[in-house]
Amino acid sequence: MPNEKDAIDISRRSFVQRTAMSGVGLLVAGDILKSNLEAETPKSSGSTMIGVPFEARERVRVGIIGVGGRGTNLLEELLGVENVDIKAICDLVPAKVAHAQKLVTDKGQPEAKGFGKDDWDFKNLTQLDLDIVYIATPWNWHVPMAVNAMKNGKHVAVEVPACTTLEECWQLVDTSEATRKHCVILENCCYGENEMMVLGMVRDGVFGEITHGEAAYLHDLRGILTANEWEGLWRRFPHMKLDGNIYPTHGLGPVAHYMDIHRGDRFDYMVSVSSREASLSEYVKVNFPDTDPKRKEKYTCGDINTSIIKTVKGRTIMLQHDVVNPRPYSRLNSIQGTKGMFADYPARVFIDGPKKEDWDSIDAFREKYQHSLWKQSGEMARKMGGHGGMDYIENYRLMDCIKRGLVPDIDVYDAAAWSAPTPLSEMSVKQNGSSQKFPDFTRGKWNVRPDSQGFAL
Ligand SMILES: NC(=O)c1ccc[n+]([C@@H]2O[C@H](COP(=O)([O-])OP(=O)(O)OC[C@H]3O[C@@H](n4cnc5c(N)ncnc54)[C@H](O)[C@@H]3O)[C@@H](O)[C@H]2O)c1
């Protein structure tokens, strides 16, 4: 087994090699798809996964690949859900596997099988008798791992973003359809207390006809990006290779739900521009000595990327990405309709009326619109604590969908479309903000399921 340093080196080397060499690399996305004016729809080798339920079962057997920061959080949340058995853990760092195995046995479960002797040992995990494989590794590993798990008959829950190129988006869709296995993107923000409540308000017509939304990931990650551990070992590399929105799904997932994307509407095209790069290089200059290798790095990703998505039903979404500026956290998370709007950070509502001048707190709507999942499990979720409780609700709900044989709330088409702004923004930025078509990952089926499907408790 590699020691911790070897494992980190392997992981980093693989990331750089993969990014540099292959068609799935972030760097080459723009080269593969020089012009995306007419997005092509490849032929499917299977029928749609829209509306396909899980096979019901009493207990869910889970394997987890990647137990760094996020994978360990997911494991802890899953260990808080009844009738979930953690059967296998894979990570390149033996100490992380051992720590995860101890969390499992501390909860009274038998020891999970450990994997991670090399980059590809996850292939041995996916051979086991498991119902679903969770993937919480660096981005370049998501698709090879998800595809391998589905081909071995496992459903997949993959961290965000699910994929980083259009080719990878299609690989997930095609594999899910061919294998009849779900590929769920673990977009925890869709399960936030406010997000689920606002979705209910949108569906009840509180804001009237929806025309516009705003979504973002605005999070000062300078310390994390430049650390010599955890995400600092891999997450800075895309900032040296592309210019665009590297992390689109936290803001976009909830707004896509408000707009019934793939449930009556779909993303049509987007335009994107980036500011110049300044903040990450200044941070590195100020905080690291001349001798630190980071001082030689050249960052290509602009500090703030702004995109506008247009949907086929004529709605617009302003989508932003900024992980390098000193500023408070925000995902914007706003939605505008003909009767009013919701905006987050802080959460507030404006409803049209004769004497209307100012915002109301969202609390005024909580009694009527708090989602039943939060009513039922909110206390437990807040106690577990992951991102204010949304992580527990996300995992509780996914396990519940599997146990009860329900259709998942979020499917492979969502995974592909919510991740696609990375390559599309890169191409648009390269072409001075030119319009980029979203592929129709549903192959024409974005309008077939009722609005209410998803969170249909
Ligand atoms: N949804 C959220 O709120 C949220 C929060 C943080 C991170 N994430 C996502 O979770 C994923 C992981 O992020 P993280 O913060 O845990 O990073 P991390 O660096 O802390 O952990 C990644 C782990 O993957 C392991 N790994 C790398 N290559 C591997 C391989 N070939 N086989 C097995 N293990 C391998 C590493 O050893 C490491 O332990 C990323 O996709 C990230 O975007 C999501």
Q: How far is the CA of 142 from the centre of ligand 1 (A)?
A: 9
**What is the number of structural domains in the chain?**
1
Of 16, 65, 89, 91, the residue with max ligand 1 atoms within 8 A of its CB, to mutate for a pocket test, comes to: 91
Q: Is residue 128 part of a domain?
A: no
Q: So what's the pLDDT on residue 123?
A: 98
Quote the ligand 1 centre to 205 CA distance (angstroms). 39
Nearest CA to ligand 1 atom 21: 68
Residue 91 in any domain: the answer is no
Q: What is the CATH number of the domain that holds 289?
A: 3.30.360.10
Domain annotation covers residue 402: no
Residue among 1, 159, 164 to mutate when testing ligand 1 (max atoms within 8 A of CB): 159
Inside any domain, residue 395: no
Q: Could you give the CA distance from residue 219 to residue 323 in angstroms, rounded to a whole number? A: 5
The CA distances from residue 167 to 22, 23, 41, 310, 389, in Å, are 11, 8, 11, 22, 34
Orientation angle between helical segments 139-151 and 4-21, nearest 10 degrees? 90
22-60, pLDDT tens digit by residue? 333 333 333 333 445 456 677 777 799 999 999 999 999
Q: Which atom of ligand 1 is nearest to the CA of 15?
A: 28
- CA 433 / ligand 1 centre spacing (Å): 31
Q: Is residue 387 part of a domain?
A: no
For the purposes of burial, counting CB atoms within 10 Å of the CB of 123, is it exposed (0-12), middle (13-18) or buried (19 or more)?
middle
Atom of ligand 1 nearest to the CA of 72: 16
* pLDDT > 90 in the chain, percent: 85
Site residues for ligand 1, CB cut-off 6 Å: 7, 11, 65-71, 90-93, 96, 116, 119, 122, 136-139, 141, 159-160, 186, 188, 230-231, 233, 387
What pLDDT is attached to residue 80? Answer: 95
Is 432 part of a structural domain of the chain? yes
In the prediction, which pLDDT does 455 show?
A: 58
* Chain segment 309-364, per-residue pLDDT in tens: 999 999 999 999 999 999 999 999 999 999 999 999 999 999 998 877 789 999 99
Is position 132 within any domain?
A: no
- Give the span between the Cα atoms of 388 and 408, in whole angstroms: 22
pLDDT attached to residue 38? 55
Report the separation in Å between the CA atom of 155 and the middle of ligand 1, taken as the mean of its atom positions: 19
Between CA 172 and CA 417 the distance in angstroms is: 11
Range of the domain at 330: 193-371+412-453
Q: Residue 85 domain-assigned?
A: no
- What residue owns the CA closest to ligand 1's atom 25? 66
Residues in the chain with pLDDT values less than 70: 1-40, 450-457
**Is the whole-model pTM more than 0.75?**
yes
* Interacting residues of 376 by C-beta distance below 8 A, sequence separation 6+: none
Taking alpha carbons only, the member of 394, 423, 331 closest to residue 185 is 394
Residue 209: is it exposed, middle or buried by C-beta count within 10 angstroms (0-12/13-18/19+)? exposed
